[in-house]
Each structure stands twice: as C-alpha cells, then as structure tokens.
Amino acid sequence: MTQQGSEINTSTTPYFTSDHEMMRSTIRRFIEEQVTPYADQWEEDGFVPRAVLEEMGSLGLLGIRYDGEYGGSELDTLATVILAEELGRSTFGGFAITVLVHTDMASPHLHHAGTPKQLQRHMPDIIAGKKIAAVAMTEPDAGSDLASMRTTARRDGDFYVLNGAKTYITNGIYGDVYFVAAKTGTSGRGHHDISMFIVEKDTPGFSVAKPLKKHGWLSSDTAELSFQDCRIPVENLLGIENKGFFSLVKNLQNERIVLGAQAMGEASKAIELTLDWVSQRKAFGATLWDKQAIRQRLAMLATKVEAARQLIYNTAWRDTQGQILTKEVSMIKALCGELVNEVMYDCVQFHGGSGFIRETAVERMSRDARVQSIGGGATEVMLEEVAKRLI
C-alpha cells in the first residue's frame, strides 16, 4: 500500500516557497541520518547530546527567524512550522521539545527584549547550539496562573536577589542560559509585578534542585530549579522591570502555533506507521486494512489531522502579516493537543499487542503525546481564551 497520500505535499499549498521546501528536506535528512539511529539511546540517557544541537546550529536550524548579524536565517513563521512538524515526525517527542524550547519558547524572550549587549553576549552561541536555552515560569504552586508566582527578585544596589523555585523546566539540567520570571513589584496587581531575568548556569545561588522523571519525552532533560539568594547583575534584567508578563505573552502566539505543528507532525507520522501495519497484519483471513471499521476510522483521523494542519498553515501565514491571533492560536493549541492524543489512542489500538511494547514507535509516541494537552497551555485554559473571543 502506498502512503503518498499521508505525506505533506507542499507543492499543493499556497504557503510554502522553494526555500521552505529545501529547509524541510534538510531537516528530514538530518533526522534520518543523525537522530533516528541514535535516539533510542537518548531516551535511555535522559537527554539529547549537545553535539547534536551544535550540528543543527551549523545547518542553520536553531536561528530560523533570527537576525543574520547573529547567525540567524531571517526566515518566517512558516519556516518555524516546518521545523516543528518535521521534529514531530521524528517519533521522538523528547528530542523535538528539547529543540523547540530552545528555538521557540526560550530564546525568543532574548530576541524580543534583549539589549544590544545582551544579544551580542548570548544570541550567536544560542543560534550555533553552543549555549542551550531554557525558560523558567512554572512553579510548584503556579502553572498557567502566572500572577500567583512566588519567586521574587529584590533590588539590592547593582544586583537583584532571586529567591524561589521553578519546576517542569525543559532543558533544565543541561541548559546554559535561563530566562526566569520573578516578582519584582509590590502593586498587588499580579501581572504588573513580574520581570524577566537572564540567569547563567554558573551563577552562585542557582542550582538544579532535582531532575524530574516523566511519563514521556524521556530524552528531554527536565528539572526543578532553585534560587537561594541568587545575585543577578542589574544588566541581566531582560526588558523593562515589572513588564515581564507582557514579554511572556508576546511569544505565546508563536509558541502555540509551534506546539500545534509539532503535534500534527506526530499525528501524521503515527497514521503513516499504522497504515503500514494494518496493510500487512492479517486477522481472520484478511489484512486489518480490509476491515471497514479500521480503515474508516483511520480515514477520519487523517481528515481531522489535515484540517488541523491547514488551520496551522493559515494562522502561521497570517502571523507573517503581523496579525494578532489570540483566538486562532488558542484554537490550535486546544484542538491539536486533544487530536494528537485521539490519533495515538487508535494507532496503539490498531497495532494490538505490539502497540503496548516499548520497542514500538507508536507506544513511545502515545506516551509523548499525552503532555500535548497540558504543556504550553492546558486545553481547558485555551478553550476559555477562545470562549472569551466568541461574543
């Protein structure tokens, strides 16, 4: 059975240029040669080797939308979508999120708000993969409700003194530069009291408190971070004091498009793997594909994934036009986070017992997908964002 129908055919869309298609081919080839043969070991080790990220940097894949003066490629949101989609198709969610946090969830805070000195100090190495970036917002008692965070930063002469804890931080163990949200204001107005800081790995008072063992994304290093009288130079304030929440919000549009694209890359690949399986596996004298219930269910899943993908492409294109798309990106995050789990459930089911065995790609992918409806904005929070904009 041919699987051509489930491949992404960019020539049939109005969105992608030849440069986009060339980049897609580069990423796909890199994954085939440098990721697939080795990523099972990364799952065992609990992290992606930094040499792999440096190789991605040398190919121009870690600075897709950043300025050329720092080594960036100066491409657009659609190029970022291609990166996320192809990383999702790798079947290793931990590898994918390691890269995407670095490129599209952490380093954009520096790109958007950094001073020329801050940019020159960090951005070239971030784009080259020599410094790995993380963003630290979530706390043990504060997730989506950032206004309730307890980490504080008190001004003391030429320093800020940070105290508190962050948790569920991707790239938390092996990161080099962290963009940390903390309360600096005392107005009591929540979002108006938050600032962002650049914290480097070797800063006294900063430590990795605890590596975290996860249900999925096993090759993504995740940690709880501790700040105990951590003295940050004033020049490490990122952006304007007490305006950090608005810096965080600024990147949410891009972040949610990217997470949706990653999820749909995962979903489309899982469908392809399952189509291969059901076309060969026999039961009761015929292949599973010959069972109407199975092939119609896969047809419906493929239809939903294609519809979601087109929503992502259109929204990404509109983002390149400078449009504010809070409703649409919230729709993407809610829809794709739920849909990828729906796809994985049925793909495991149709693989039968093999879908429950660790050596099977769909088993790993089903574990990795579970967090897609949680991380980056839980489905329930996203639906509230949509609902507020319906009337």
Q: Which residue has the tokens 């219930």?
A: 293
Contacts with 268 (C-beta within 8 Å, 6 or more apart), sequence order: 6, 8, 89, 302, 305, 309
Rounded-to-integer distance, Cα 296 and Cα 303, Å: 10
Q: 43, 139, 224, 255: which is the annotated catalytic residue?
A: 255
Contacts with 87 (C-beta within 8 Å, 6 or more apart), sequence order: 27, 31, 95, 96, 99, 100, 262, 265
48, 12, 13, 10: which is closest to 30 by C-alpha? 48
- DSSP three-state, residue 236: helix
CA 286, distance to chain mean position in Å, is: 41
Rounded-to-integer distance, Cα 285 and Cα 341, Å: 31
User: Is residue 255 annotated as part of the catalytic site, yes or no?
Assistant: yes
Neighbours of 94 (CB within 10 A): 25
What are the residue numbers of the active site? 255
